[in-house]
């Protein structure tokens, strides 16, 4: 089992994309686990790596299971698929007493390295050169 542990630079990239997409300098980032609603080509067991749950490019056969996992849970390492892929769905909240969900961003890993970060509804926020 290979785990993805983001480097300091990768964590910085994901955090900056989340901040920019949310429109806030300070944000709280949680990683969500998803499950397959149809089970064909995926798993109905929730997982933090969406690539274990579905092969659909837009995840239309999945749904959120839980978004209570913290940024620290993510940075400790998440299991990658046997071919080194990972898709991670982050829930981005504003901070403070009125903190609320602002956006979602998704990080894509291939070959054990971060290759892209997308914003929900905003498209590609960062892409490896």
| Residue 36 CB partners (closer than 8 Å, separation 6+) | 42, 43, 44, 53, 54, 61, 62
- For the chain, the domains span 3-127
Q: Quick one: average pLDDT of 40-64?
A: 83
pLDDT category at 126 given cuts 50, 70, 90 is: very high
| Residue 17 CB partners (closer than 8 Å, separation 6+) | 105, 117, 119, 125, 126
pLDDT, tens only, 77-119: 999 999 999 999 999 999 977 789 999 999 999 999 999 999 9
Q: Quick one: average pLDDT of 20-32?
A: 95
For residue 51, the SS3 value is helix
Q: Residue 10 has what pLDDT?
A: 98
């Amino acid at each position: 089992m290979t785990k993805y542990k983001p480097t300091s630079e990768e964590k910085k990239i994901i955090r900056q994309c989340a901040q920019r997409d949310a429109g806030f300098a300070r944000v709280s980032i949680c990683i969500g686990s998803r499950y397959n609603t149809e089970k064909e080509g995926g798993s109905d067991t929730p997982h933090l790596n969406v690539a274990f749950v579905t092969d659909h490019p837009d995840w239309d056969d999945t749904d959120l299971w839980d978004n209570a996992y913290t940024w620290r849970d993510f940075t400790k390492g998440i299991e990658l698929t046997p071919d080194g892929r990972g898709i991670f769905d982050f829930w981005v909240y504003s901070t403070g007493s009125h903190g609320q969900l602002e956006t979602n961003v998704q990080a894509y890993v291939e070959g054990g390295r971060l290759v892209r970060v997308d914003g929900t509804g905003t498209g590609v926020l960062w892409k490896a050169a």
